[in-house]
Structure 1
Amino acid sequence: MPKRKAAIAVGGVAALGAAALLLPNANASQDKNDTASGATGSAKTLKATQASGLAAQLQKALGDAFAGSYFDSAKQQLVVNVVNGDSNTIVQAEKAGAVVRQVKNSTRDLKAAATTLKTKATIPGTSWAVDPRTNKVLVTADSTVTGAKWNRLQSTVQSLGSGTATLKKSAGTFKTFVSGGDAIFAQTQQGGVRCSLGFNVTASDGSPAFLTAGHCGVAAKDWSDSQNGQPIATVDQAKFPGNDFSLVKYNDPSTQAPSEVNAGNGQTVQITQAADATVGETVFRMGSTTGLHDGQVTGLDATVNFQSETNPGGVDTVNGLIQTNVCAEAGDSGGSLFTQDGGAVGLTSGGSGDCTSGGETFFQPVTAALQATGATLGGGGNAGNGAGDQSGSAAPSASAGDQSGSADPSASAGDQSGAGDQSGAGGDQIGGSADPSASAGDQSGTGSASDGSSLTSSR
């Protein structure tokens, strides 16, 4: 059988609206009650990926004194929180190149607060995550949390104390994003399902595969790259709720699945490593409905309580997610969250809001998905230069989604990817999308490669 080159690029879609040069613009806030030292001095200028590595080193070195960290992207510095830190602790962190901030709440305190919320306030439409910039747990309630549910949540947050947790309302509704755009497709008894591919990987047995959202993988087993086409990939592992990731293997072992993201406008970003998220860093999300968007990581180890789609009144809780202010809409599920220098960070899980008013979007960490599935980043099978090949052309894309089977209201005139007509497809989708330079049947791949230095985004 001849080699089959996947025509859909991972997370690729044309950017919407006026393109804006994507530059780091996060303004990390500081609690006025906290004090910072070494803000200029010996603090190193770092890239976000370097800051993540330094934070991991300091967490290990400082032990219980470490109370979280974040990346100040305006100053390109890592800020480390310490609690009960003596002068030696502070000097150690500063010598390593971090800005040191003394704070009130320890990591243990904040985890205890999250445990209380889990016990007393696991309510559909709620989420919580540690925000190291404020040294508090940020609790969010969507528009469905009203009446007795709101009172219960509010009293639980108040019991934690204003210095430990804060509560805010979100105008939207927490949901897994579905429908619309270029996608992978599946059929279920409930109707059509469509989702987006996050990143191409090599499975532990050496076969080509991709990662997408877990809620897609539990919805359907067999996936196609066209609405009514033959399946090209089969779910190997899927986890949802609890986590939100799937490993889907290509049926043809010679499928070329290079490790790259098509960023639209002829740009591709080579994905060279899996990267842990750092609060404050700038990240990019590709979505088949809304195109390329950027924003900042706002919280880690987030817990989100989605309204269950299979159990009326039930809750689908997902833990360990990355919280961001990157917008997303229906049709963006399962897609790639990445850094400008080629770090694979997350898979789109769900959230609230839209790309007009903004909102919160949560992502399954790629590092956790790789560890759980045993997969590695890079093209698989006999394609290119082997499993580790990072070059090549278009990467396969998939999108995961909702099981409603309804047509995507935003996919007809709103299809921004330039791929084939997907407007009649049903179901839910969120995440990566198709190569904007190729139709569903085009095997030519993406346009010219880019080193990611001039990524553009509609914000």
Structure 2
Amino acid sequence: MRRTLRARRTALTALTAAGALCLGAAPAGAGTAGEDAAAGPATYALNSALSQRLGDDTAGSYIDRRTGELTVTVTSDRAAEQVRAAGATPQRVTRSAAQLGEAMASLEAGAKITGTSWGIDPRTNQVAVQADQSLSARELARLKRVANAQGGAVRVERVPGTFKREVAGGDAIYGGGYRCSAAFNVSKGTTRYFVTAGHCTNSATNWSATSGGPVIGVREGTSFPTNDYGIVRYTNGSAPGGNVNLYNGSYQDISSAANAVVGQAIKKSGSTTKVTSGTVTAVNVTVNYGDGPVYGMVRTTACSAGGDSGGAHFAGSVALGIHSGSSGCTGTNGSAIHQPVKEALSAYGVNVY
């Protein structure tokens, strides 16, 4: 299911496994300042309601890391009044959602270069473009030429490494000679599944919890590129819990799913880097891979590495995304991309539990 100008995923990460999958990751090191900007169920609900109510009168929303409050960009006084009445903070901006969409369309048409990604950063009311180290001088000049023609609506930054799907060999879920990670256990009635990255499920029908081990699940759906999600049905008779493995002897219960909000704190759980922390920096992200683009993705600063593909992005008990890929990690600052999990749940008619 293709969605124009809605960024999708960037790399294959990790299918977490342990017989009966208990998905998740363990905190790796100190948290970031973004952990002060936590989002609870009320924030997700308010963000969704205002987004639908305001329509074209908003160009996105974010959580203010200083106050922890939901800030909603608006382009009219009427919209600002609606935001205040709902209990959020309005921020008047000059560029509408339509104008940012036009800028993204120009990038899609004139600068669709492997090794680039772009998405909306409502904090600056811009389209934030990242260009990895694979771009040649000529390609970078072309990208900047298209960006500069957008009247300040687009900013470009270079990032270390190269955007890639993060599949690798090692522990976790195995299929087709690859290792990935599982994101979340889900259900439809009494049938249990797990969701993971589509670039992982593209590679194999049968999946095991150990390399060369018995099959625990069979692929029932896959979508990559354009999207990056897949679903595997448990066939070994197990009824795994609806939680995420924190790799420290404990688990995080998952009770709901939501779309991530720029500025909020997030954790990523994968079979290679375990649990890492970060902050959401852009939504509606497009990532241009060598084997095709993905749309409607979310960019965060969490660290990740090969084998994390398919892992869980979450905040407390809320499922947010399925790890797709990144351009690597410098210190504690990564560029992890995730597929919004709500889209995958809707596509397959399943729920977290």
Instruction: Write the distance in 1 (CA, Å) between the matches of 2:100 and 2:246.
Output: 37
Counterpart amino acid of residue 335 in structure 1: G
Which residue is equivalent to 1:140?
130
Q: Which residue is equivalent to 2:30?
A: 20
2:201 to 214, 217, 236: 217
* 2:103 equivalent in structure 1: 113
Shift of 1:180: 4.8
Give the alignment partner of residue 165 of structure 1, picking from 151, 154, 159. Answer: 154
Of 19, 23, 27, 1:6 maps to: 19
Instruction: Give the secondary-structure state (helix, strand or coil) at the position aligned to 1:67.
Output: coil
Separation (CA, whole Å) in 1 of partners of 2:53 and 2:20: 46
1:79 aligned onto 2:68: no
Aligned mates of 2:288, 2:40 — CA distance in 1: 29
Instruction: Give the AA of the match of 1:362.
Output: I
In the alignment, does 2:343 pair up with 1:333? no
Residue 8 of structure 1 deviates from its aligned partner by 4.0
The one-letter code of the counterpart of 1:61 is: R
Quickly say closer, same or farther: Cα 1:21–1:329, change in 2 above 3 A.
Answer: closer
Judge conservation of contact 2:20–2:240 (CA < 8 Å) in 1: no
**Does the CA-based 8 Å contact 1:273-1:377 persist in structure 2?**
yes
- SS of corresponding position for 1:94: helix
Q: Does 1:53 align with 2:45?
A: yes
Give the 3-state SS of the residue equivalent to 1:329 in structure 2: coil
1:194 is aligned, of 164, 173, 179, to 179
Distance of 2:351 and 2:343 partners within structure 1? 11
State the Cα distance separating 1:66 from its structure 2 match: 1.5
1:9, distance to aligned residue in structure 2 (A):
2.2
> CA offset at residue 144 of structure 1?
0.5
Cα distance in 2 for partners of 1:221, 1:322 equals 27
Which residue type is aligned with residue 291 of structure 1? K
State the shift of 1:242 in Å.
Answer: 0.5
**Alignment counterpart, residue 284 of structure 1, candidates 267, 290, 295:** 267
Of 259, 268, 281, which residue of structure 1 is paired with 2:251? 268
Distance in structure 2 (CA, Å) of the matches to 1:286 and 1:180: 17
Are 2:145 and 1:155 equivalent residues in the alignment?
yes
Partner SS for 1:301 = strand
Higher Cα Rg: structure 1 or 2?
A: 1
Q: Deviations over 1:350-375 (max 9, x none)?
A: 11122636331110110000011111
Partner amino acid for 1:369? Answer: A
Q: 2 CA distance for matches of 1:330 and 1:148? A: 29
Q: Which amino acid aligns with 2:68?
A: Q
Tell me how many residue pairs correspond in the alignment. Answer: 336
Q: Percent identity?
A: 37
Q: Deviations over 1:164-215 (max 9, x none)?
A: 010010111000112255311123xxxx211110000114x64211000000
TM-score normalized by structure 1? 0.70
Higher strand share: 2
Structure 2: distance between partners of 1:206 and 1:241: 30
1:93 aligns with 2:83: yes
Are the counterparts in 2 of residues 197 and 212 from structure 1 also a CA contact under 8 Å? yes
Could you tell me which of 319, 322, 329 is aligned with 1:347?
Answer: 322
Equivalent residues in 2 for 1:202-241 (5 A)? 202-203=187-188, 206-241=190-225
Cα contact 2:162–2:328 (8 A) shared by 1: yes
Kindly provide the amino acid, as one letter, of the partner of residue 185 in structure 1: Y
* Alignment match, 2:9: none
TM superposition shift of 1:344: 0.4
Counterparts of 2:310 and 2:178, CA distance in 1: 13
Give the deviation of 1:155 after TM superposition. Answer: 0.6
Map of 2:3 onto structure 1:
none
Determine the C-alpha separation between the residues in 2 that align with 1:230 and 1:359: 34
8 Å CA contact 2:22–2:242 kept in 1: the answer is no
Q: CA RMSD in A?
A: 1.9
Query: How do residues 289-308 of structure 1 correspond to structure 2 at under 5 angstroms?
Result: 289-308=272-291
The aligned residue for residue 428 of structure 1 is none
In structure 2, C-alpha distance between the alignment counterparts of 1:336 and 1:134, rounded to whole Å: 28
Contact 2:20–2:238 (Cα < 8 Å) also in 1: no
Structure 1 segment 384-395 matched on structure 2, within 5 A:
none
Secondary structure (helix, strand or coil) at the match of 1:264 reads coil
What displacement does 1:258 show?
1.1
Q: Secondary structure at the match of 1:258?
A: coil
Give distance in 1, aligned partners of 2:30 and 2:309.
24
Q: Normalized per residue, which structure has more helix?
A: 2
